[in-house]
Amino acid sequence: MKLTRRNFIASVVGGAVGIQITPLPWKFTDDVAIWTQNWPWVPVPPSGEFSEVSSVCTLCPGGCGISVRKVEERAVKIEGRTDYPVNPGGICPLGMGGLQLLYDESLRFTGPMKRVGMRGSGEFQRITWREALDIAGARIAALRKEGRPEAVAAVDGNGEGTTASLLIQRLMQAVGSPNYVRPASLSDTYRMGNILMQGRDAPIAYDLENSDLIVSFGCGLLEGWGAPGRVLNAWGMWHEGNPAKRKVKIVQVESRASNTASKADYWVAAKPGTEGALALGLAHVIIRSGRYDAGFLAEHAFGFDDWQSRDGVVHTGFKTLVLKNYAPEQVSRITGVRPDAIVKLAGMFMDAKSPIAIYGKGKNELNGSLYEFMAVQSLNALAGRINRVGGVLLPDPLPLNPLPHFECDEIAAKGLEKPRLDRAGTKAYPFSHSLIHKFAEAINGSRKSPIDTLLVFSANPAFTLPDGGAFETALKKIPFVISFSPYRDETANMADLILPDCVYLEKVDDIIWPVGLQYPLYGLSKPVVDPIYDTRNCGDTIINLSKAIGKSVGAAFPWKHFTDVLKERAKGLYDAGGGLVRFNPAAPPWVAKGAGSKTGFKSFDDMWKKLEAGGMWYRPAEQQRDWSWLFKTPSGKFEFYSQRIEQAIRSGSTKEMRITVQGDEACMAHYEAPAQDPDRTAYPLTLFPYEMINLASGWIPSPPFLYKTIFDTQLLKDTSFAAIHPGTAGQYGLKQGDLVSVESPAGAVKVRVDLFEGAMPGRVYMPLGFGHTGYDEFLKGKGANPNAIVRAGEDPVSGYPVWWTTPVKLVKA
């Protein structure tokens, strides 16, 4: 029998029929359908046992309590802790997206590295920790041997007073370099003002929760000021219940209809940099009406009325100054706020039961102006709102142990005698501890960089400083840069050696008194997951590095681990007695006596265990009862007239300190008009860089999640927007979405125009946080960084950059 065509067809037909009565076609179809539902590249997250780990978020100095949900060893979600006093419940968007900072590998350094590519290219090669520490140690040791330890410098972005920050300062001392610099933040302005007016070297403590009228002079309450979790929680509290019967009113003084300005009960649109003048305007109305706190002024204030000094000279008092210079009409001319509005606002301030005036400039990441702070604080004093519930409290600093004293060796002692490169603490800048823009200026101004090796900790000055790119230029000149950043940021990309820190969820770290909180709180974070890469806690690295530099430097670090240092400092909390390590939501720390005084621990070890578990030690807010030691000023009182400034002027000069007024006025809060640029005709507009709560503008990168919340009128593809008043835009013939170049004497950036009625005419508002050249595809090349074109003046006395008055022009692209 041969296989004919016919037979073949018969068998095919047979096969075709036969296959129908087998499972093949049916099961195959079904399986293919299922197969298309399970592409191998669609991830299937493995399941397992769920657990929650409580810790503290250290992404900003706000220090919110976080609870991380884990599946086996993986962290899958961050949530706010309801059992933490700072933020009972919520956290900010940055904290919410934190897992991407942990798990986005291309955002991070996975181990110690040395540079192989061009500087800034971000090309590195993995080395071992031993090698890395040897390179760094040998370099610093060599400089010490040469007798120029001052050629080592450190930029430290860790929170003021944190243990990591103390270790870095100690390392610089042990090495023998005075060049320890920190980027200026609002906390520095607060601290300086606090010392000058109240004689207290402590953070500012605004008792917002107990106030019924909050007049915010530029504080971005909803933009991430202070501890965002705390402010937002308070915001929710204030808006609870019937809107008509709300007890708390919020007034926002700001030039732009920001979220805070829009959501506040009143918005006062004062020109940027004139907030202090407005505060003095309110003071004028209050003084004139006589409804100030005469008792407080008589007993606890100095320099309100005219006074006579020991040498018989009669000095002008705050009262005379304000009555003379800050009448509503005068203030109106400065601020652009209508005189009747100033009178009305002052009336509100007088009528309120417990008003508070708070000072700020957006978030806390950038500094403020000293005289502006003094003006706002003077207003508080005038109304007797100092050391009062619902006002400005004066709690004692955290009783943490100082690090033990150590002896510098000879090389270090010599090095420490050398002047600081940034001239902080000199006659020109008597009260500043560090001035990072002057540091960059000094390097850029010399032919050869006086700094040989720069260590960068928790900071990204090449991106975050409002200096028109000066620091980046300086970085290029410095022969050797060591970065301790866990992220591939702009500064790290310029580095020659990377000793990567762990990401915040992998490490133990501390928070010293969240900014603006009215009670002292010590926060302690713990590792939520084990380090997923070959990175080490920066505190441990510093200890190891000190040993790598040499014996005498290493001797200053008698600890094995960073936790030993933390524990040693925390011992002071225990020795001071009192304090709470647990939070009872029913008795929050801002309710006087609500939280009780039972500490809940028996021994230091017990306290430490509970501190590690709960992540907090705090003392509930209260008024100080004993006024006699409260103000550690020369007069022992609250000083409207700061005698410390007087002394500084006497040993230097007002000109050196960039104060434009003469005489007694210079020692009191007053308005300083910004130095007028001669080229205002060429640059008729003013740039105001603004901050947003949903975009990180500091050294921490924005988790990619944040870009979901950015509107397409803020970022479109790779171009960010500048918000401009439609009237101003009209003068340039600009429409919504037009590409435009914003040019200042310091440079130019390309942006699109966003017409926004809530923008003050004549201003250009650019968001901070865009325009990265580091990191990965999520952040790189997105938008423009206004810092690149800021040309900052210097704040009188403090010397911090005045970053809010850059003259710019718009050129249609």
323-342: which residues touch another protein (CB under 8 A)?
337-338, 340-341
Collapse the DSSP code of 768 into the 3-class scheme (helix H, G, I; strand E, B; otherwise coil) and give the result: strand
- Among positions 15, 419, 596, 747, the unique one binding another protein when judged by CB under 8 A: 15
Largest CA distance in the chain: 137
Question: Is residue 14 close enough to count as binding another protein by CB under 8 A?
Answer: yes
Among 188, 180, 163, smallest CA distance to 364 is for 188
Residue 210 backbone class (left: φ over 0; alpha: ψ -120 to 50; beta: rest) = alpha
Cα 758 to chain centroid, rounded: 25
Cα 157 to chain centroid, rounded: 9
> What is the rounded CA–CA span in Å between residue 264 and residue 118?
49
Question: Is residue 266 close enough to count as binding another protein by CB under 8 A?
Answer: yes
Helix ranges (H only) for 629-741 are 643-651, 706-709, 726-731
Question: Is residue 90 close enough to count as binding another protein by CB under 8 A?
Answer: yes
Task: Specify the residue, 110 or 635, whose C-beta has the smaller distance to another protein.
Answer: 110
- Among positions 126, 344, 418, 582, the unique one binding another protein when judged by CB under 8 A: 344
DSSP secondary structure letter of residue 239 = T
> What is the rounded CA–CA span in Å between residue 237 and residue 510?
28
DSSP secondary structure letter of residue 735 = -
Question: By CB under 8 A, what part of segment 670-709 binds another protein?
Answer: 693-694, 703-709
Question: Is residue 628 close enough to count as binding another protein by CB under 8 A?
Answer: no
Question: Is residue 257 close enough to count as binding another protein by CB under 8 A?
Answer: yes
Question: By CB under 8 A, what part of segment 219-238 binds another protein?
Answer: 222, 228-229, 232-233, 235-236
Q: Which residue has the tokens 């960089």?
A: 449
Question: By CB under 8 A, what part of segment 527-556 binds another protein?
Answer: none
For the chain, report the end-to-end CA distance as a whole number of angstroms. 86
Task: Specify the residue, 683 or 721, whose C-beta has the smaller distance to another protein.
Answer: 721
Question: Is residue 315 close enough to count as binding another protein by CB under 8 A?
Answer: no
Amino acid at 343: V
Question: Is residue 91 close enough to count as binding another protein by CB under 8 A?
Answer: yes
> What is the rounded CA–CA span in Å between residue 94 and residue 334?
37
Task: Specify the residue, 652 or 704, whose C-beta has the smaller distance to another protein.
Answer: 704
Question: Cβ atoms within 10 A of the Cβ of 297, count?
Answer: 22
Closest distance between another protein and the C-beta of residue 128, in Å? 22
Closest distance between another protein and the C-beta of residue 22, in Å? 2
Task: Specify the residue, 46 or 678, whose C-beta has the smaller distance to another protein.
Answer: 46
> What is the rounded CA–CA span in Å between residue 737 and residue 725?
13
> What is the rounded CA–CA span in Å between residue 694 and residue 706?
6
Q: C-alpha angle with apex 385: 380 to 391, nearest 5 degrees?
A: 100
Helix ranges (H only) for 219-274 are 228-238, 259-263
> What is the rounded CA–CA span in Å between residue 521 and residue 517?
8
Task: Specify the residue, 1 or 116, whose C-beta has the smaller distance to another protein.
Answer: 1
The CA-atom distances, in angstroms, between 423 and each of 53, 465, 605 are: 45, 18, 44
Closest distance between another protein and the C-beta of residue 104, in Å? 6
- Among positions 53, 54, 74, 636, the unique one binding another protein when judged by CB under 8 A: 74
- Among positions 114, 119, 126, 263, the unique one binding another protein when judged by CB under 8 A: 263
- Among positions 542, 710, 746, 790, the unique one binding another protein when judged by CB under 8 A: 710
- Among positions 171, 214, 215, 264, the unique one binding another protein when judged by CB under 8 A: 264
Q: Is the CB of residue 172 less than 8 Å from the CB of residue 137?
A: no
Task: Specify the residue, 257 or 370, whose C-beta has the smaller distance to another protein.
Answer: 257
> What is the rounded CA–CA span in Å between residue 707 and residue 769?
11
- Among positions 114, 119, 126, 246, the unique one binding another protein when judged by CB under 8 A: 246
Question: Is residue 118 close enough to count as binding another protein by CB under 8 A?
Answer: no
Q: Which residue has the tokens 């042990």?
A: 174
Question: Is residue 57 close enough to count as binding another protein by CB under 8 A?
Answer: no
Stretch that binds another protein, among 181-189, 265-273, 306-314, 575-583 (CB under 8 A): 265-273
Six-digit token string for 776: 């990965």
Task: Specify the residue, 6 or 625, whose C-beta has the smaller distance to another protein.
Answer: 6
Residue 112 backbone class (left: φ over 0; alpha: ψ -120 to 50; beta: rest) = beta
Stretch that binds another protein, among 22-30, 352-360, 536-544, 603-611 (CB under 8 A): 22-30
Task: Specify the residue, 4 or 308, whose C-beta has the smaller distance to another protein.
Answer: 4
Question: By CB under 8 A, what part of segment 136-195 binds another protein?
Answer: none
Stretch that binds another protein, among 83-91, 185-193, 202-210, 574-582 (CB under 8 A): 83-91
Question: By CB under 8 A, what part of segment 741-780 binds another protein?
Answer: 756-761, 776-778
Question: Is residue 317 close enough to count as binding another protein by CB under 8 A?
Answer: no
Task: Specify the residue, 115 or 725, whose C-beta has the smaller distance to another protein.
Answer: 725
CA atoms 293, 296, 297, 301: torsion sign? negative
Question: By CB under 8 A, what part of segment 95-114 binds another protein?
Answer: 96-97, 99-100, 102-106
Closest distance between another protein and the C-beta of residue 316, in Å? 31
Task: Specify the residue, 34 or 586, whose C-beta has the smaller distance to another protein.
Answer: 34
Task: Specify the residue, 121 or 711, whose C-beta has the smaller distance to another protein.
Answer: 711
Helix ranges (H only) for 176-222 are 186-198
Closest distance between another protein and the C-beta of residue 280, in Å? 18
